[in-house]
Amino acid sequence: MAGIYKRGNVWWIKFHLNGTRVQQSLRTTNKRIALDKKRQIENYCANIAAGMMLAQFTKYLRQLPIESDISFNLLTNELVHLPSA
């Protein structure tokens, strides 16, 4: 799902979400910490997908407008607030 790579001494993550490429600094120089953060982000993405699908389906059943980009907005907000190591 996601890949990590080094840019200078800092580890970064890259992945696609809803067809959009996301690249974000993991704010660490330690590979083990970077891999832990990668796993957390992958789990978070999976939870967003599951939660959003349920929320979108509920809105669909209630004939409410469906927000197509809310999962991306939530994820980018979380990535901006990742704790530094």
On whether residue 23 sits in a domain, the answer given is yes
> What pLDDT does residue 67 have?
66
On whether residue 67 sits in a domain, the answer given is yes
On whether residue 8 sits in a domain, the answer given is yes
On whether residue 12 sits in a domain, the answer given is yes
On whether residue 21 sits in a domain, the answer given is yes
On whether residue 49 sits in a domain, the answer given is yes
d(CA 66, CA 60): 7
Answer whether residue 82 shows pLDDT above 60.
Answer: no
> What pLDDT does residue 32 have?
97
d(CA 66, CA 14): 27
pTM check: above 0.85: no
Answer whether residue 25 shows pLDDT above 60.
Answer: yes
When divided into structural domains, the chain yields a total of 1
On whether residue 85 sits in a domain, the answer given is no
Q: Find the domain containing 73 and state its range.
A: 3-80
The token pair at 25 is 């600094």
Q: Which residues of 42-64 are buried (b: 16+ CB within 10 A; e: fewer)?
A: eeebeebeeebeeebeeeeeeee
Answer whether residue 2 shows pLDDT above 50.
Answer: yes
> What pLDDT does residue 46 have?
79
35-79 pLDDT per residue, tens: 999 998 888 777 777 776 677 667 767 777 766 655 555 555 455
Angle between the 31-61 and 70-80 helix axes, to the nearest 10 degrees? 150
